[in-house]
Amino acid sequence: MKLNNKGWGLTDYLLIVGVIVIALFGASILIIRLNTTLKENMKKHEQIEENIDETIPEESIINDNEQNTEKDKKEEVQENIDYKKIEDKMVSSAMKYIEGAFKNEIDNNTITVDNTHLIELDSTLKDEMSKDNCKGYVLVKKDGENINYTPYFKCDNYKTEGTNDYYIN
């Protein structure tokens, strides 16, 4: 009786399974070593960060202090300016403009009320916006029965998200 040699035998199967098991075992050892090495490096990095203040030379601290004073001045300008207040004033100015020019009768098109018209209607807005060299506009769009006012402005140290420089004059 002749055997069929076209398939895999038990020895072939056991040999392939053995190679796969050895490969998985080796890979798991490498992963464990990598994990412990990363943990050791993280501990060293944390220790370096804790001791960094003690190792910085005084000259570099002086240079950093000079740079920090410039940053502090910019942050101080930002703290003195209430950007939310500017946005509110821009919206109230735009509302006055829409009420006067359109008598609140606008269609579904978007209307842009630019910086010039906003400042004409509220002189205090000009003072607020000049503190940080701000310029902006308000987009007005009718939504059903409501009118939505969305202010956008750009300053030296601040920019409203979504501001389009095309509309800023």
* pLDDT one-digit tens code per residue, 74-106: 555 555 677 788 888 888 888 888 788 777 677
Please indicate whether residue 168 or residue 33 has the higher confidence score (pLDDT): 33
Residue 109 has pLDDT above 80, yes or no: no
Q: In whole angstroms, what is the distance from residue 72 CA to residue 59 CA?
A: 20
3-state class of 135 per DSSP? Answer: strand
Q: From 160, 110, 120, 101, select the one nearest 136 (Cα to Cα).
A: 160
Using a pLDDT cut of 70, give the percent of the chain over it.
Answer: 78
Structure tokens at 67: 């740079």
Q: Which helix (H) or strand (E) holds 139?
A: strand 135-143
User: For residue 157, what pLDDT band results from cuts at 50, 70 and 90?
Assistant: confident
State the pLDDT at residue 18. 97
Q: In whole angstroms, what is the distance from residue 140 CA to residue 60 CA?
A: 51
Residue 14 has pLDDT above 60, yes or no: yes
Please list the residues that pair with 87 across neighbouring strands: none
Q: In whole angstroms, what is the distance from residue 8 CA to residue 21 CA?
A: 19
Structure tokens at 60: 């570099």
Please indicate whether residue 24 or residue 146 has the higher confidence score (pLDDT): 24
pLDDT digits (tens, 9 = 90+) for 24-77: 999 999 999 999 999 988 888 888 777 765 555 555 555 555 666 655 555 555
> pTM here?
0.50
Q: In whole numbers, what is the pLDDT of the chain averaged over residues?
A: 78
Cα distances (angstroms) measured from residue 102 to each of 68, 94, 141: 50, 11, 13
DSSP 37-102: HHHHHHHHHHHHHHHHHHHS-HHHHHHHHHHHHHHHHHHHHHHHS-HHHHHHHHHHHHHHHHHHHT
Backbone angles phi, psi at 92, to 5 degrees: -65, -35
